[in-house]
Structure 1
């Protein structure tokens, strides 16, 4: 399998370590490790390797799913990668809503056949009819990133419902990368909670400010989760034990305060950018969502 270079990551590798002021990131500022208990005990593999059953049950409840319908991963990147490996091949096809995070179209393109449906600027409108027209008999997956990176567009519940209906009607899955979802004041319901054709991926990276934990998950139908777990045996085997230890704390009593602080910070900084643009007579497409 050949894959194109990840242009953004190569750009970061060249310039990020030299930057005195970083304006290229899309996430929240990183939290300090001092806020957490950092002693998970023995530093072995997590057993079972799909993640702690109690934490998977806790997370599964957010999607109206059971523990067996959740798989812990090393971030959202691995979560998406495993879904693509489990559902795509040269014999089938994916529809990817674009522009989006490069991995969400480059990885499927390396595995199978992809049609990209473009959002319409300046409001980055999603045309459901174009997605419908792009679906083929061999389509197994529709891919959405919501809220969208890089545009900041937060597609409405009506749009997401329409995509889910398309997936269901065509015996396909709707995969939604929801890593930015909880930055919103009033987040939409996750796609994995919508029914048997919905898959959600996310992590502690963007909304929580905990990229260094490398902890994420997939929530979805058991056959998809089992297929992803089969591939995970060949990638990272198990999630990070330290990441899981921190996740147990973050997704408990600490969660409300962390998310509130991060949402408030995002609002404050968004206003600063707006003022800067206006004060210097610059033009831009203002984000229409949460980022």
Structure 2
């Protein structure tokens, strides 16, 4: 292929997009043999019971295509879960679809809804897959910037930007990277705004079970007026500490899910079969997800307590398995430069929070992942106390 051919015929749909900050920092961590608290993945073993169930279904020959919407047994288990937690009756036949990870579900929702010229409201700092997916389908991202330390949403600002072109509002609750959770008044404000518009909601709830200090997760599934125009996305990777299995799901009213499946069937068609069967069995015991808040809060508290002896200011983490720290007492460097320096010179990889904004926003904040074993967290504390 000649250079002229590339110039004449290849037009990037994402001309300003480069390698994600997660890949950049993980590559840097590997190069410098740094402790990696950047990318959000656990480094402790997966449940032996769950591994055994996967092995069972592999050996039993459950190795061909699953039904396009997913294994029915797993969809039934999800339906049972959301009824138990949110008093919501999601029809497993028509309203639940198993996906190849949460990110695929997010992409498919955006593909289903967004046409050229549609506007999509995104609250920043935002997970980095939202905006590129919107742009691929010709949509326009309308960012609403939230700032530390509280990252509160000004709903009057939302009301001011919503218009006839607004197709979608993307919510992430609990939020990565801010770690904040929506409150009852937030959902009530959104409900009032959405009723007077034509917009849909994409509710990214992949951290629904990782929420702390006795808080209750407020899902769109528990708000009928919001649910009627919502897609809810969740992740088994977060729930089961198995991010590499890339399995998630989406829930939506039947009419919306029918459109979702039209795209899904030509995107991945179906997700990993033996793992679906294994998870369906594993989730018969609700303790496997009901116990997650305590499991992760212990890790959060270990890190918070250890950092009390450092020069870092810790922001309260309400949910997710991340913690934000402010380094303003240590350096005036930009977040990216300080994160890079911390990796190369101090042996610890983190993520600059500025990477989650579409335009530069420097707040001296880094994101740390605490979904790690105790030895890793102890080593990270030791490194951070020396700053």
How is 1:127-138 mapped onto 2 (pairs within 5 angstroms)? 127-138=154-165
Shift of 1:212: 2.6
How is 1:137-216 mapped onto 2 (pairs within 5 angstroms)? 137-184=164-211, 185-195=214-224, 196-216=228-248
Which stretch shifts more, 269-278 or 90-99?
269-278
Q: 1:2 corresponds to which residue?
A: 13
2:267 is aligned with 1:235: yes
SS at match of 1:272: helix
2:70 is aligned with 1:56: no
SS at match of 1:206: helix
How is 1:212-231 mapped onto 2 (pairs within 5 angstroms)? 212-231=244-263
Larger Rg: 2
Structure 2: 5+ residue stretches without partners: 1-11, 83-87, 322-387
Contact 2:179 2:320 (C-alpha < 8 Å) held by counterparts: yes
The size of the alignment, in residue pairs, is: 288
The two structures have a TM-score, normalised by structure 2, of 0.68
SS at match of 2:203: strand
Shift of 1:174: 1.5
Contact 1:82 1:231 (C-alpha < 8 Å) held by counterparts: yes
Structure 1: 5+ residue stretches without partners: none
Q: 1:117 corresponds to which residue?
A: 144
Return closer, same or farther for 1:149/1:168 CA change in 2, 3 Å cut-off: same
Shift of 1:107: 1.4
2:27 is aligned with 1:14: yes
Return closer, same or farther for 1:32/1:166 CA change in 2, 3 Å cut-off: same
The two structures have a TM-score, normalised by structure 1, of 0.89
- State which of 108, 112, 131 in structure 2 corresponds to 1:82: 108
SS at match of 1:108: helix
SS at match of 1:142: strand
How is 1:240-259 mapped onto 2 (pairs within 5 angstroms)? 240-253=272-285, 255-257=286-288, 259=290
Shift of 1:258: 5.0
Distance 2:30 2:309 in 1: 29
Distance 1:114 1:55 in 2: 34
Contact 1:214 1:243 (C-alpha < 8 Å) held by counterparts: no
Q: 1:287 corresponds to which residue?
A: 317
Which stretch shifts more, 11-20 or 155-164?
11-20
Shift of 1:194: 2.2
User: 1:35-80, CA deviations, whole angstroms, 9 ceiling, x for partnerless residues?
Assistant: 221222321000x211123432332351422120111101110010
How is 1:33-112 mapped onto 2 (pairs within 5 angstroms)? 34-36=48-50, 37-38=53-54, 39-40=56-57, 41-42=60-61, 43-46=63-66, 48-61=67-80, 62=82, 63-67=88-92, 68-111=94-137, 112=139
Contact 1:64 1:193 (C-alpha < 8 Å) held by counterparts: no
Shift of 1:101: 0.6
- The two structures, once aligned, show a CA RMSD in angstroms of 2.3
